[in-house]
Amino acid sequence: MGPDGAVTDAAAAVDPARYRQAMGRFATGVAVVTSRHRGHDVALTVDSLTSVSLAPVLLLVSLHPEARVLEGVESGEPFGVSILPARLRGMAQWLGEPGRPLHNQLVRVPHERGSATGVALVEGALAAFECRTYALHPAGDHVLVVGEVLSLQARPTDDAALVHYRGGLGELR
């Protein structure tokens, strides 16, 4: 242990709570992932989104194995990713709450259907992507979903981006 109390030994056990706190210092964008599950639209707020490849165009999201969105993706349904502006903070919070009912998850969410797959995309998103599953990789207590981007839209805007930092939501211009 260093003089400031920081763990410096690479072999030391990593406490999950400390790990989560440390990772919270990495600011990330906030997005909504949508799909269909048993004939219903389902959605989930995520902050684990990254670009993977340009050839082919791939993105990655990390989902909990019990997420209904993941069940839709695993069954072959396309999925959408909508990057949120700060003004949609309330929507992000609601779609991030565990235990939301299966039915009518998007009734409070203005959305449109993507032109390539028909998946729900959040209206007013900074950017939105329609994807099909390219690969699924179990990783610890999550599943990494790699999606091939079939279509995208990015609107010109001066809206601030919604960001997740230190356990809270904020904005970045």
Q: For residue 6, what pLDDT band results from cuts at 50, 70 and 90?
A: low
End-to-end CA distance of the chain: 38
Residues in the chain, how many? 173
Q: For residue 104, what pLDDT band results from cuts at 50, 70 and 90?
A: confident
For residues 146 and 85, give the distance between their C-alpha atoms in angstroms, rounded to a whole number. 23
Q: For residue 3, what pLDDT band results from cuts at 50, 70 and 90?
A: low
Secondary structure letter of residue 160 according to DSSP: P
Rg value, the chain, Cα: 17
For residues 138 and 136, give the distance between their C-alpha atoms in angstroms, rounded to a whole number. 7
Written as six digits, the tokens of 140 are 């610890």
pLDDT in tens, 62-89: 999 999 999 999 999 999 999 999 999 9
CATH code assigned to 27-167: 2.30.110.10
Which one-letter amino acid corresponds to residue 11? A
Count CA within 13 A, CB hemisphere, residue 49. 21
pLDDT at residue number 99: 81
For residues 33 and 109, give the distance between their C-alpha atoms in angstroms, rounded to a whole number. 12
Q: Taking residues 8-25, what's their average pLDDT?
A: 84
Q: Is residue 44 over pLDDT 80?
A: yes
Closest by alpha carbon to 69, among 159, 143, 153, 150? 143
For residues 55 and 127, give the distance between their C-alpha atoms in angstroms, rounded to a whole number. 20
